């Protein structure tokens, strides 16, 4: 895994020294080595900070083709690249290394831009084609690895993180209203917009080209188009994916929470080798899964390492994380993910994780809520308003039939949220309402002096409203890349650790979105994965879904009170959010009148970002 940065300036006004600043700003992403490429007139500069995983001796970047006119810098891993490499050699290409990086250069020579669709892996790479004076940038199908870019006149600047672009003196920093609105609603920036005006994220499954005639951004992947795997054996697909992703020239471990997804991945790993596993526990009973992690580790024979997470860990790491986090991010699970990454890095350079299992195989209650909506729509005499009118008179045993099991919410409160969502016609807006309300709270945070009308969060993908699990489709294109993979990338890279995700193998994803087998119903989530686990780890198969969060409601009234109070007193924040609103949220939470922990954490992280990056 690596960090990449660079520029193409057809006006020739960029000082080449800027490339050093750009790569130094993300040095933690690749502490093992660094490299730079400049063309003859230095109008093109490509930089890399490398974390060495494959071909430690000869895999340094940038890497060129035989003629030196095609050069690549690359962040990620390509699985099955040896087969691609063998085909290239048969076609007359001469490769000097055993790395997947060099394979990319020759694939581009052979297939041009079509090469992006041939790859199975997690990646963001940049190729400079000197002969055709063209830059080619591609990002993996699912957005596992990040890539940001901006265009200023006839210059394009790119980086694995915005800070590389911000370190370029030619870029004028300003906050994006769209990015900020997205953050205040969801706790992260959605789609191609970042928090900075004119800095964009390259979308999953997209590539861009940049030459003297301008910029072109294009999709190379459409979900659900491969029907060849709809009748495949999921057990075999997952086992093969894990086996492929275990290939490494450095030690490999596994994140093991004790939940369904990580336990299944750890089980498959145990079939091939004995390795180290890592988990985080909590004193708070409702949040602690360490017992289950230890159980699975003992059952399959991993060497298990676990640490307890406390409010002191948040305090100790808060400044370190927010000083590097160049976009505001309100998912509090970033913090324990940072700690488990730090723990793992003491022993290994690579870990496998169970990320993506929920989105692919129906693990969230919001998906059941969408399914419930489908049933309600078939009954013409029922709608959200009708059901809400009966809510206060509904006995608890009937409420238990609603798909509203989520954290510690009272059943009637959750039922009200689900039923309010039924009144929203657009499936994407309905889903974002549920996500916002479940994770951050019912009360909205608005930008100061902005219209309080409903925020229109638009995806760059066509959504099929008849899809039985439309929530999965929306999450796949939004929450998964913009929240989940953002979190895992930053938390792991801040510790120079590579995280691989076997669920996101192309064949597994194609199967999940083409199979006619049921992923979930109103009473059960992740039916297929539970069925697999029932054969392998039956005690884990029945476990309910638990998120990897922290007990903010309690901690913000206790050990995190001073940190929170200092953060919301940041006067810079009052330029964006009403001061009285912030203080009321705080006071209501401290008095116990409301649980405002989600909104308060959103503001606390925004304050941390303002302090370091505004």
How do residues 372-414 score in pLDDT, each as one tens digit? Answer: 888 877 776 566 666 656 555 555 544 555 544 555 566 677 7
Query: For 553-569, what is the mean pLDDT?
Result: 97
- Asked if 167 and 244 sit in the same domain, the reply is no
- Identify the domain boundary among 496, 522, 541: 541
How do residues 323-370 score in pLDDT, each as one tens digit? Answer: 999 999 999 999 999 999 999 999 999 999 999 999 999 999 889 888
Query: For 442-455, what is the mean pLDDT?
Result: 70
- Asked if 294 and 393 sit in the same domain, the reply is no
- Asked if 147 and 281 sit in the same domain, the reply is no
The residue written with tokens 């091939």 in the block is 272
How do residues 35-69 score in pLDDT, each as one tens digit? Answer: 999 999 999 999 999 876 666 555 578 999 989 99
Domain that holds residue 156: 2-219
Contact 127, 104 (CB under 8 A): yes
pTM, two decimal places: 0.93
According to DSSP, residue 67 is labeled: T
| Residue 435 belongs to some domain of the structure | yes
- Answer left, alpha or beta for residue 80, where phi above 0 means left and psi between -120 and 50 means alpha: left
3-class DSSP assignment, residue 357? helix
φ, ψ of residue 6 to 5 degrees: the values are: 170, -170
Give the helix/strand (H/E) hosting 16.
none
Average predicted confidence (pLDDT) for the chain: 89
| Residue 370 belongs to some domain of the structure | yes
* pLDDT over 70, % of the chain: 89
Please, which pLDDT band fits residue 425 given cuts at 50, 70 and 90? confident
Q: Which residues are annotated as a binding site for ATP?
A: 280, 353-354
C-alpha to C-alpha distance for 201 and 295, rounded to whole angstroms:
40
How do residues 480-489 score in pLDDT, each as one tens digit? Answer: 999 999 999 9
Q: What radius of gyration do the chain's Cα atoms show?
A: 24
3-class DSSP assignment, residue 41? coil
Q: For position 101, what pLDDT does the model report?
A: 92
E strand map for 480-577: 498-500
Query: Partners of 78 in the beta sheet?
Result: 121
Active site residues: 2
- Asked if 62 and 175 sit in the same domain, the reply is yes
Q: Which residues are annotated as a binding site?
A: 100, 280, 353-354
Q: For position 402, what pLDDT does the model report?
A: 54
How do residues 533-550 score in pLDDT, each as one tens digit? Answer: 999 999 888 877 666 679
Q: Structural domain tally of the chain?
A: 4
- Asked if 99 and 208 sit in the same domain, the reply is yes
- Identify the domain boundary among 171, 187, 219: 219
- Identify the domain boundary among 185, 219, 253: 219
């Amino acid at each position: 895994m690596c960090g990449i940065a660079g520029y193409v300036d057809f006006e020739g006004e960029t000082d080449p020294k800027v490339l050093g600043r750009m790569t130094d700003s993300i040095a933690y992403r690749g502490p093992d080595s660094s490299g730079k490429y400049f063309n003859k007139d230095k109008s093109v500069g490509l930089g890399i900070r490398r974390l060495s995983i494959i071909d430690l001796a000869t895999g340094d970047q940038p890497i060129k083709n035989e003629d030196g006119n095609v050069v690549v810098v690359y962040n990620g891993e390509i699985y099955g690249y040896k087969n691609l490499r063998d085909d290239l050699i048969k076609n007359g290409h001469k490769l000097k290394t055993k790395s997947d990086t060099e394979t990319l250069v020759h694939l581009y020579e052979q297939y041009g831009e079509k090469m992006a669709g041939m790859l199975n892996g997690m990646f963001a790479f940049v190729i400079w084609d000197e002969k055709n004076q063209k830059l080619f940038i591609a990002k993996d199908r699912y957005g596992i690895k990040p890539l940001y870019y901006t265009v200023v006149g006839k210059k394009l600047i790119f980086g694995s993180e915005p800070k590389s672009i911000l370190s370029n003196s030619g870029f004028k920093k300003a906050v994006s209203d769209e990015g900020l609105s997205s953050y205040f609603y969801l706790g992260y920036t959605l789609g191609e917009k970042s928090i900075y005006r004119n800095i964009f994220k390259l979308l999953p499954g997209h590539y861009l080209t940049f030459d003297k005639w301008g910029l072109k951004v294009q999709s190379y992947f459409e979900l659900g188009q491969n029907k060849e795997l709809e009748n495949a054996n999921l057990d075999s697909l997952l086992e093969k994916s894990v086996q492929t992703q275990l290939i490494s020239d450095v030690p490999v471990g596994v994140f093991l929470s004790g939940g369904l997804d990580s336990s299944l991945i750890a089980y498959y790993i145990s079939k091939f080798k004995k390795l180290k596993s890592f988990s985080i526990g909590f004193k708070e009973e409702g949040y602690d899964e360490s017992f289950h992690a230890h159980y699975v580790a003992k059952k399959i024979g991993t060497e298990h390492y676990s640490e307890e997470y406390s409010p002191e860990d948040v305090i100790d790491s808060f400044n370190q994380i927010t000083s590097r986090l160049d976009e505001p991010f309100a998912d509090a699970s970033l913090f324990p993910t940072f700690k488990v990454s730090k723990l793992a890095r003491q022993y290994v350079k690579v870990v496998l994780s169970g990320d993506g299992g929920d989105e692919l195989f129906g693990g969230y209650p919001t998906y059941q809520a969408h399914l419930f909506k489908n049933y309600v729509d078939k009954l013409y005499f029922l709608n959200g308003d009708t059901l809400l009118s009966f809510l206060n008179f509904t006995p608890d045993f009937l409420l238990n039939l609603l798909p509203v099991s989520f954290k510690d919410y009272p059943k009637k409160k959750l039922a009200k949220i689900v039923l309010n969502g039924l009144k929203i016609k657009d499936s994407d807006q309905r889903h974002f309402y549920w996500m916002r309300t479940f994770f951050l709270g019912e009360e909205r945070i608005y930008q100061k002096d902005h219209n309080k009308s409903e925020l229109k969060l638009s995806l760059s993908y066509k959504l099929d409203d008849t899809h039985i699990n439309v929530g999965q489709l929306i999450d796949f294109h939004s929450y998964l890349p913009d929240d989940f993979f953002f979190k895992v990338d930053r938390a792991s890279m801040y510790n120079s650790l590579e995280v691989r995700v076997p669920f996101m193998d192309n064949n597994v994803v194609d199967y999940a979105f083409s199979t006619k087998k049921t992923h979930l119903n109103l009473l059960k989530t992740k039916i297929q994965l539970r069925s697999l686990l029932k054969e392998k780890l039956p005690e884990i198969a029945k476990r309910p879904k638990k998120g990897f969060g922290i007990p903010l409601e309690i901690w913000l009234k206790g050990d995190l009170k001073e940190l929170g109070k200092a953060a919301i007193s940041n006067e810079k924040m009052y330029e964006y959010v009403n001061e009285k609103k912030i203080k009321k949220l705080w006071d209501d939470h401290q008095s116990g009148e409301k649980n405002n922990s989600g909104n308060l954490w959103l503001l606390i992280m925004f304050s941390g970002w303002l302090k370091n990056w505004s």
